[in-house]
Amino acid sequence: MKQHLIKQYDAELEAIRSRVLQMGGMVEQQVVKALDGLESGDALAIEQVINGDSKVNDYEVEIDESCVHVIARRQPAAADLRMVMTVIKTITDLERIGDEAKNIAKKARTLHASDSHFHPQVRLRPAADLALDMLRKSLDSFARVDISGAGDVVRQDSQVDAEFKGIMRQLITFMMEDPRTISHALDLLFMAKAIERIGDHAKNISEYLVYMVKGRDVRHVGVEALEREIQQVD
């Protein structure tokens, strides 16, 4: 990050970046706890995720207000403005990942509270591990202002999408073969979709970072075009 003559300006920008990383760390833990709670049935972990969502929301509001104040007081331009705009978009996606973690926790609570024996045996963990890895890579790239791994994240998103489609096909088969599984199959499908959405949001964060560093919008361009943009010397 470039240095400004007004040291307080630098401090404000760095404080915003730091808070984004803190928010990202909390959101990551929310996802981890939700997935662990789904597997283990740990009621305490599940409730911690549900109750912790309000803290994620607080982070979003606080950071958004800080960005508005910087825009109003400092009138940032060029790279500084791109950084502030990237932060505003990133915290929106982080908040939505937090929502998806809460949704998974709520469905996990319902599944583990049920005494039904008709539980479809479908593995969500492979897709979840991919989505979680995408989130970690995106946050690490944001921390280091390093866009070299953005292409990997976009490719992983395609893998998560493929995993979701496979899970959906399995669940449809279960429901067709045994209607008694429908209720739990729908809960699992809901959680699989939440995992797929976490991957989408992580991909968005990586793409925002490319915009911040390169000044070019790489959404919807495809992974090959994105990687050419990353490698291009300005």
Domain boundaries defined on the chain: 7-231
> What is the structure's pLDDT at 234?
55
Instruction: Give the pLDDT band (50/70/90) at residue 215.
Output: confident
On average, the pLDDT of the chain sits at 91
Whether the predicted pLDDT of 137 surpasses 80: yes
Whether the predicted pLDDT of 229 surpasses 90: no
Whether the predicted pLDDT of 5 surpasses 70: no
Q: Is CATH 1.20.58.220 the right assignment for the domain spanning 7-231?
A: yes
> What is the structure's pLDDT at 147?
87
> What is the structure's pLDDT at 213?
86
Q: pLDDT tens digits, residue range 6-33?
A: 788 889 999 999 999 999 999 999 999 9
Whether the predicted pLDDT of 3 surpasses 70: no
Whether the predicted pLDDT of 224 surpasses 80: no
Q: In the 3-class helix/strand/coil scheme, how is the chain assigned residue by residue? A: CCCCCCHHHHHHHHHHHHHHHHHHHHHHHHHHHHHHHHHHCCHHHHHHHHHHHHHHHHHHHHHHHHHHHHHHHHCCCHHHHHHHHHHHHHHHHHHHHHHHHHHHHHHHHHHHHCCCCCCCCCCCHHHHHHHHHHHHHHHHHHHHCCCCCHHHHHHHHHHHHHHHHHHHHHHHHHHHHCHHHHHHHHHHHHHHHHHHHHHHHHHHHHHHHHHHHHCCCCCCCCHHHHHHHHHCCC
Q: Which of 60-64, 70-74, 160-164 is least confident?
A: 70-74
Residue type for position 138: S
Q: Taking residues 187-205, report their average pLDDT.
A: 96
Q: Taking residues 154-174, report their average pLDDT.
A: 95
